[in-house]
Structure 1
Amino acid sequence: MAQPLASTELTGLQKAIRWHPPSYDIRVDEVPIPRILHPDDAIVKVRLAALCGSDLHIYRGHGGVNAVHICGHEFIGEVVALGSSFGEEVNGRPALYSQLKVGHKIVSPFTSNCGECSVCRLGYTARCPEGFLFGSPALDGGQAQYVRVPKAGGTLFNLSEPSTWSSDMSKTGRETALSKLSDSSLLVLADILPTGVFAALQTINHPKVQPVLTGRPWPLCFSPGIEGETLSVLQEDRVFTAAIIGLGPVGVCAAISLLDAVSTRSIPFRIIAIDPNESRRTKMQAVYDTIDESGKKGGDFAVLSIDDAKVKAKEWTHGVGCTAVLEVVGNPSALSLAYDLVRPFGVITSVGVHGEPPLPFNGREVYGKNVSLDFGRCPARAMFPPAFDLLVKRQDIFGGVGEASSLIDSIVSFDEAAASYSSFDKGEVGKVIFDPWK
């Protein structure tokens, strides 16, 4: 069993935010600082950790969890110890086993992943068979002063060496961008921004969206060189109409990403952003108003309540329904609304975390509307490169803290953990970040 590097070995106790069963019980406890347990481990000193909507499932007692554990799956920090797998002469493994060093700054996706199996090689890193979710009984989370990262060479992103990931920017461009990005801004790369990008890309690239984008009917949209019988696709048929259900932090990220995708591709669009919570609608409107024209040109965008959204969708689509719906809530009522809003041969992309209640569709409904349903967890590590590029582009939203249009509402100490969970659960605050050393 590998041991921590002698010069960085840590002992003693740390402060950590822990959930206690059965529900709504958040405490700041003193627990042992984690140690290297496997040669592939890294120990990270946490600079900042965030509170995410997914944390609320366990907080409310709906996660099927009954064990005390350290919360949180979004963190950024500094490597303070590495297992014996890391070194200069490592070959045939993910590059970080050769490149990652004590002292390097990292951001972690919300799940660990090996980076070596077929699942990871294909980019489906969220479902690595050796992966675990941070902030669960299986793997203590990052709302602590230190966190252990298993399979660290396949999991972490090295912010101290930007040549280790792909980007539309040059290495110099990435270095320049990184020098200007705050830790609080970079922290959104752990989950919410990759998940928002994932939802948008899954939607805009879905096969059933292609007739709208190409102007060619199904299935000729997949065969540009083949002519079929003449069917007149009108300009009004080529307006991409979407709804986004849920305007928490992930929903806002999905909206920003979808707006960026349609505007940069010059796709005519109409997007309805929906939430029953007025404060979340106010935040979304402020975000939209702040985005410069390059990030939202070419269409219409409306932020509405559920009832008003139903009326607007009928008006904009002449009663046919939306091309696609992004569901970012994770409950049956949100899925029912998505089904009501989507058109026949439409797409529902769900990145909300769903629990045990059954899906609100029967066989006759799903057959009768030809709707495609995409569900599941974002492969955050695979989505890191496009998320980073969007983060740099949209610093008008991701760069600030506590402003009307800022995605991040506040940075608080662990002393405010219980109150922050409670306020977030009630929809009274948006994105909250914890400083473990404050």
Structure 2
Amino acid sequence: MTNANALPQTQLVVKWYPPRRDVRLESVPVPRVLHPDDAIVKIDLAGLCGSDLHAYRGLEDISQPHICGHEFVGHVVALGESFTPFSSPSRSSLYGRLCVGDKVISPFTTSCGDCHFCRLGFTARCVSSLLFGSPALPGAQAQYVRVPDAGGTLLLVEPSSPLMAIPDQNLLLLADILPTGLFVAMQALAHPKLSPVLTGRPWPASESGFLNVEASTNAAPLTQEDRTLTVGLVGLGPVGLCAAVALIDRLDILSVPVRIVAVDTNPIRRNKAQSIISTFSNSTLEEFHIVDPDEARVLVREWGGGGCHAVLEVVGTPLALTLSHGLLAPYGILSSCGVHQAPALPFTGREMYNSNMTLEFGRCNVRSLSVSATGLLVRQQGALSKVVERIVPLTNAVEAYERFESGEWGKVVFNVWA
């Protein structure tokens, strides 16, 4: 454990105050190790995320001022006593390997690595999970941050890793929005309901895993049109852009034709998405349309087939869910990673029953997806390097929140030392 006296006494942070739209730059004490499993990280870059805007707008059920932010890249400057070469082999190997000076990326939530959910890979629902940038855990729009359960949380950037050659602003995508984009795509693409399209075998014979069933032989063979996968993407903010890249990357391994419609009300975001999509050449990608909601409804009707096989919703509002539901075909999958605040869904259980739709909601297991997300970042550096729009000093935080909320600015990264 590093001597806490080697750290400065104070740091600059961005702090949110209730009820809404009140963020301030303040000087506060530098965090110290409080538990043997803690790490203190000196932050190099921190992100401004769309979900930071929920608290900023006063939509979260919180009333306590807190340090904002949950995305960061930095270096370890202090460790608790659990970090030793003699750490128990039953714990995360990072407790035996992480050292002061190591470069790290952190998922936006902590995970112990030891509980039932962590062992299953569902690290987002760790029994001791905490969200950075909340009253429960001070955030990363700061110069230093305390990371609880650091051995089960942090991602170590090894000196030999290909990540060492990637700029820090792109590494920051691994903290949240890239794995979240991958997660929302995987929740749809890995669903058994897509198996008839992907395998060419009708349900239930298309099901894999533990089922051993045969389909009726009375049905006509699947046509080429039956095997054309149609996917909607609602929301083209930073997470939506990452979802688009993840979707195309995953679909590249499939041998079926694909049509995608990506939707956003903001023309600035649509133009940004077009600049990213234009970097791809995918032989199975028949169509990729970037349109407004009205155009999307018309286009999907023209495609026929009753709608999209899957819709990815990355906004987190009732309007986005309503649009997603309207684009969905019977037996469709609505995969959502938006952080919803409304008390009820904008469609009924009977509507879901009548269309056999599937809902996939929730928070991404960033820690468990880190290897897959890293591979995606390495493969798609050209497209993903366009996601971060600007790097600004932490002292510009008030302006950054205002312009990001208005949609005038895209993904913002803070240089906390500028």
Give the TM-score normalised by the residue count of structure 1.
0.92
Paired letter, 1:372? T
In the aligned structure 2, how far is the partner of 1:179 from the partner of 1:39? 28
Kept after mapping to 2: 8 A contact 1:63/1:355: yes
* Partner residue, 1:167: none
* Partner residue, 2:112: 114
> 2:397 is matched with which residue: 412, 417, 420?
417
Structure 2 residue matching 1:110: 3-state secondary structure: coil
Establish whether residue 183 from structure 1 lines up as the match of residue 168 from structure 2: yes
Deviation for aligned residue 1:357: 2.9
* Partner residue, 2:364: 378
Kept after mapping to 2: 8 A contact 1:44/1:147: yes
Paired letter, 1:202? Q
Structure 1 residue matching 2:99: 3-state secondary structure: coil
* Partner residue, 1:285: 274
* Partner residue, 1:402: none
Establish whether residue 241 from structure 1 lines up as the match of residue 269 from structure 2: no
In the aligned structure 2, how far is the partner of 1:23 from the partner of 1:279? 25
Within-5 A mapping of 1:165-180:
175=160, 177-180=162-165
Establish whether residue 229 from structure 1 lines up as the match of residue 217 from structure 2: yes
In the aligned structure 1, how far is the partner of 2:330 from the partner of 2:368? 31
Within-5 A mapping of 1:251-330:
251-291=240-280, 293-294=281-282, 297-316=284-303, 318=304, 320-330=306-316
Paired letter, 1:229? T
In the aligned structure 2, how far is the partner of 1:218 from the partner of 1:84? 55
Structure 1 residue matching 2:206: 3-state secondary structure: helix
* Partner residue, 1:168: none
> 2:60 is matched with which residue: 50, 63, 70?
63
Kept after mapping to 2: 8 A contact 1:72/1:135: yes
Establish whether residue 97 from structure 1 lines up as the match of residue 98 from structure 2: no
> 1:18 is matched with which residue: 15, 19, 36?
15
Deviation for aligned residue 1:176: 5.6
In the aligned structure 1, how far is the partner of 2:359 from the partner of 2:146? 36
Q: Which runs of 4+ in 1 moved over 3 A?
A: 223-228
Kept after mapping to 1: 8 A contact 2:69/2:140: yes
The Cα RMSD (Å) is 1.4
Structure 1 residue matching 2:340: 3-state secondary structure: coil
> 2:144 is matched with which residue: 139, 146, 163?
146
In the aligned structure 2, how far is the partner of 1:397 from the partner of 1:277? 20
40-49 or 362-371: bigger deviation: 362-371
* Partner residue, 1:205: 190
In the aligned structure 1, how far is the partner of 2:305 from the partner of 2:199? 22
In the aligned structure 2, how far is the partner of 1:313 from the partner of 1:279? 23
* Partner residue, 1:429: 409
In the aligned structure 1, how far is the partner of 2:20 from the partner of 2:328? 35
The Cα offsets for residues 154-179 of structure 1, whole Å up to 9 and x where unpaired, read as 00011035xxxxxxxxxxxxx36223
Kept after mapping to 2: 8 A contact 1:48/1:184: yes
Establish whether residue 5 from structure 1 lines up as the match of residue 2 from structure 2: yes
In the aligned structure 2, how far is the partner of 1:7 from the partner of 1:68? 26
Kept after mapping to 2: 8 A contact 1:13/1:31: yes
In the aligned structure 1, how far is the partner of 2:30 from the partner of 2:409? 30
What is the aligned residue count? 413
Paired letter, 2:309? T
CA shift in 2, pair 1:78/1:305, >3 Å: same
CA shift in 2, pair 1:7/1:333, >3 Å: closer
Paired letter, 1:42? A
CA shift in 2, pair 1:120/1:278, >3 Å: same
The Cα offsets for residues 303-349 of structure 1, whole Å up to 9 and x where unpaired, read as 00000000111112x15110000000001111111111100111000
Establish whether residue 43 from structure 1 lines up as the match of residue 40 from structure 2: yes
* Partner residue, 2:373: 387
Establish whether residue 342 from structure 1 lines up as the match of residue 328 from structure 2: yes
In the aligned structure 2, how far is the partner of 1:335 from the partner of 1:179? 39
In the aligned structure 1, how far is the partner of 2:342 from the partner of 2:373? 30
Structure 1: segments with no counterpart, 5+ residues: 162-174, 400-405
Kept after mapping to 2: 8 A contact 1:245/1:274: yes
Deviation for aligned residue 1:300: 1.1
Kept after mapping to 2: 8 A contact 1:14/1:32: yes
CA shift in 2, pair 1:98/1:274, >3 Å: same
In the aligned structure 2, how far is the partner of 1:46 from the partner of 1:122? 30
175-184 or 10-19: bigger deviation: 175-184
Kept after mapping to 1: 8 A contact 2:392/2:412: yes
Paired letter, 1:311? V
CA shift in 2, pair 1:336/1:225, >3 Å: closer
In the aligned structure 2, how far is the partner of 1:363 from the partner of 1:78? 48
Deviation for aligned residue 1:81: 0.1
In the aligned structure 2, how far is the partner of 1:298 from the partner of 1:5? 52
Kept after mapping to 1: 8 A contact 2:202/2:215: no
Deviation for aligned residue 1:356: 3.5
Kept after mapping to 2: 8 A contact 1:332/1:357: no
CA shift in 2, pair 1:179/1:363, >3 Å: closer
6-15 or 328-337: bigger deviation: 6-15
Paired letter, 1:355? Q
Structure 1 residue matching 2:364: 3-state secondary structure: coil
* Partner residue, 1:397: 383
Structure 2 residue matching 1:386: 3-state secondary structure: helix
